[in-house]
Amino acid sequence: LDYQHVQVPFEITLWIMLASLAKIGFHLYNKLPSVVPESCLLIFVGLIMGGIIYGLNDRSPPVMDSDIFFLYLLPPIVLDAGYFMPSRPFFENIGTILLYAVVGTIWNVFGIGFSLYGICQVKSFRLQDVSLLHNLLFGSLIAAVDPVAVLAVFEEIHVNEKLHILVFGESLLNDAVTVVLYKLFRSFCEMPTIKSVDVFAGVGKFFVVGLGGVLVGLSFGFTAAFTTRFTKDIRVIEPLFVFLYSYLSYLTAEMFHLSGIVAIISCAMGMKRYVEANISLKSHTTVKYFMKMWSSVSDTLIFIFLGVSTIGDNHEWNWPYICFTVIFCLIWRALGVLVLTFFVNRFHVNTITSKDQFIIAYGGLRGAICFSLVFLLPDFHRKKLFIAATTVVILFTVFVQGMTIRPLVDLLAVKRKRESAPTVGEQIHIRFLDHLLAGIEDISGHWGQYYWKDKLEYFNSKYLQKILLREYDQPKSSIVLLYEKLERKHAIELAQAGQLGHGPAHPSFLSSSDRTVITDQKLEDTPNPDVLDNMQEILARNLYRIRRTGPAYNRHTLPGDSEPTERAKEILILRHKSL
């Protein structure tokens, strides 16, 4: 037996296996995941595992290594989040998200830090040796909402899209602030005196860390898109580039002390549309599927490790400090959300309701990022107290808040996510309004979001697409793409039902009663089959016209751009067929 030789990969594989089997186990008994969020169950499994290890070895089980967390477990989750980020609501609410992420987080850090310092002044609590700087350092790591925890809980409760993107976007973008503040206070702790110039340097760093992350991410994203231009002959390694370049963007950002999370998100969002157009359909399925799989495994491992790491004797228990930490975390977040939303609502027509505000405040879950940061603290005599407080805050938010948020959402009747995808009609309508608003903004000289979106689209179609896409063509209208997708799905289901027309062999296929059955099968996940069916028929008859008029939506191309001869030919073919 030669265990030493295979130990590392063997144990990693076993942990992943345990995580996957735990996931299967939860889903075997169907009622459990609908009551308790999976994250809680996983932490619970971790606690049991930790207890077993502690019992067998009689010493603390190994703590989740911060390097492993930041270098290997976090990137897949963030990549998944960035790649599948719904870009429309994200950019529509980018201002609010940034306000919550930057100002809100700073507010929380200083609020929690100063009030905990106040608590430390109470003599009977015996905490007078915890300095203000240490409290602020602790505040900087405990203030940030955790994307992994937020995603795990919010994915299950299906609140409306805007609410979801506000909480989730904040949890992703606050990374830049956390990185800066955490490193700033940590270096202040080690410095003998703090000059005012250091504070200003800290403020400047915000922009460097955040914008630097965006820059690194975008450059890697565009390189990835450019690379996939040349993979036509070796389709099999296409998915690799998506993963490699995003991971490199994360590592590069971390290397330069920029925000890795911001970098990988920009990279994923930047490359997505070009990569999707360049790679094959199967490669794309693989990319999507593997990304989901990977992030799901990472997520599972993080929560299990969180549980395992909780067990052990690296905690120092101090009731007042720990209780007040939990209370201040709740209070300052609630206050911050109230104040910031007040300002946001003054400048927006589409306001954030008070119910939504409550869920935003209540959904501020803490998770593995805090946990990893607290272990990265330099050794000092109160580190164990901080570890204990962080653990309690995480467990409190994940268990208490995570488990009660679903009933609360039900109770408050918070607006849910619409179950159905937007219909073709709605999509056309939205697109039309976008162009209309861009025109209005242009005429009125107001440089708003529609104006910039239009400019970006122009830049994209004029330069970026020519460089980054293999087959640079008139971009297909998204409606045509949707139609193609529906057609493909329809076709597969027809084939599966064995009802694909083989010429005259199946004349019955065309009877209308038969067709309704098929349509029902096909559209099992869309709510309004009749409407969509009509749409589809209209599109089927007029596909030619739509494809041609698609580009006419764009203000920068003239409707008559396509060659008339080609057009005439196509019309001829279409006519010929329909006769």
Using CA atoms in the order 427, 432, 433, 439, what is the torsion angle rounded to 10 degrees?
150
Least Å distance between CB 57 and a second copy?
21
Instruction: Decide if residue 125 touches a second copy (CB under 8 A).
Output: no
Least Å distance between CB 385 and a second copy?
27
Element (H, E) at 315: none
Transcribe 509-572 into DSSP letters.
GGSHHHHHHHHHHHTTTSS-HHHHHHHHHHHHHHHHHHHHHGGGGSTTS-GGGS-HHHHHHHHH
Instruction: Decide if residue 207 touches a second copy (CB under 8 A).
Output: no
Instruction: Decide if residue 257 touches a second copy (CB under 8 A).
Output: yes
Nearer to a second copy, 369 or 393 (CB): 369
Q: How far is it, in rounded angstroms, from Cα 399 to Cα 114? A: 27
Q: How far is CA 324 from CA 442, 451, 459, in A?
A: 52, 47, 52
Nearest to 247 by CA among 79, 368, 375: 79
- Which sign does the torsion angle of CA 420, 423, 426, 431 carry? positive
Q: Rule CB under 8 A: choose which of 48, 98, 194, 240 binds a second copy.
A: 240
Least Å distance between CB 567 and a second copy?
17
Nearest to 260 by CA among 468, 65, 63, 77: 77
Least Å distance between CB 176 and a second copy?
17
Q: How far is it, in rounded angstroms, from Cα 363 to Cα 129? A: 33
Q: Rule CB under 8 A: choose which of 88, 348, 488, 555 binds a second copy.
A: 488
By CB under 8 A, what part of segment 300-319 binds a second copy? none
Instruction: Decide if residue 13 touches a second copy (CB under 8 A).
Output: yes
Task: Kindly write out the interface string for residues 152-171 of this chain, putting x where it contacts a second copy by CB under 8 A and - elsewhere.
Answer: --------------------
Least Å distance between CB 105 and a second copy?
23
Q: What is the CA radius of gyration of the chain?
A: 27
Least Å distance between CB 497 and a second copy?
10
Collapsing DSSP to helix, strand or coil, 290 comes out as helix
Instruction: Decide if residue 133 touches a second copy (CB under 8 A).
Output: no
Instruction: Give the phi and the psi of residue 7 in degrees, each rounded to 5.
Output: -50, -55
Only one residue has tokens 């997708």, namely: 485
Which stretch in 111-119, 320-328, 427-435, 496-504 sits in contact with a second copy by CB under 8 A?
496-504
Least Å distance between CB 541 and a second copy?
6
Which stretch in 83-91, 95-103, 108-116, 252-260 sits in contact with a second copy by CB under 8 A?
252-260
Q: Rule CB under 8 A: choose which of 129, 426, 484, 530 binds a second copy.
A: 484
By CB under 8 A, what part of segment 508-527 binds a second copy? 508-510, 512, 514-515
Q: How far is it, in rounded angstroms, from Cα 548 to Cα 535? A: 18
Which stretch in 90-98, 152-160, 316-324, 502-510 sits in contact with a second copy by CB under 8 A?
502-510
Instruction: Decide if residue 248 touches a second copy (CB under 8 A).
Output: yes
Q: Rule CB under 8 A: choose which of 138, 247, 303, 332 binds a second copy.
A: 247
Structure tokens at 192: 């003998």
Least Å distance between CB 243 and a second copy?
9
Instruction: Decide if residue 219 touches a second copy (CB under 8 A).
Output: no
Collapsing DSSP to helix, strand or coil, 303 comes out as helix
Q: How far is it, in rounded angstroms, from Cα 421 to Cα 440? A: 28
Q: How far is it, in rounded angstroms, from Cα 572 to Cα 567? A: 9
Instruction: Decide if residue 23 touches a second copy (CB under 8 A).
Output: yes
By CB under 8 A, what part of segment 539-558 binds a second copy? 540-541, 543
Which stretch in 174-182, 236-244, 421-429, 559-567 sits in contact with a second copy by CB under 8 A?
236-244
Structure tokens at 26: 């939860």
Q: How far is CA 293 from CA 77, 237, 288, 297, 559, in A?
A: 10, 18, 9, 6, 44
Which stretch in 7-15, 188-196, 199-207, 385-393 sits in contact with a second copy by CB under 8 A?
7-15
Instruction: Decide if residue 378 touches a second copy (CB under 8 A).
Output: no
Least Å distance between CB 449 and a second copy?
34
Nearest to 177 by CA among 347, 360, 373: 373
By CB under 8 A, what part of segment 384-403 binds a second copy? none
Nearer to a second copy, 296 or 423 (CB): 296
Least Å distance between CB 519 and a second copy?
9
Nearer to a second copy, 497 or 552 (CB): 497
SS (H, E, C) 95-163: HHHHHHHHHHHHHHHHHHHHHHHHHHCCHHHCCCCCCHHHHHHHHHHHCCCCHHHHHHHHHHHCECHHH
Structure tokens at 31: 């009622």
By CB under 8 A, what part of segment 45-104 binds a second copy? 67, 71-72
Residue type, 28: L
Task: Kindly write out the interface string for residues 274-293 of this chain, putting x where it contacts a second copy by CB under 8 A and - elsewhere.
Answer: --------xx-xx--xx-xx
Least Å distance between CB 505 and a second copy?
6
Which stretch in 19-27, 211-219, 261-269, 555-563 sits in contact with a second copy by CB under 8 A?
19-27
Which stretch in 51-59, 115-123, 241-249, 416-424 sits in contact with a second copy by CB under 8 A?
241-249
Q: Rule CB under 8 A: choose which of 430, 440, 481, 500 binds a second copy.
A: 500
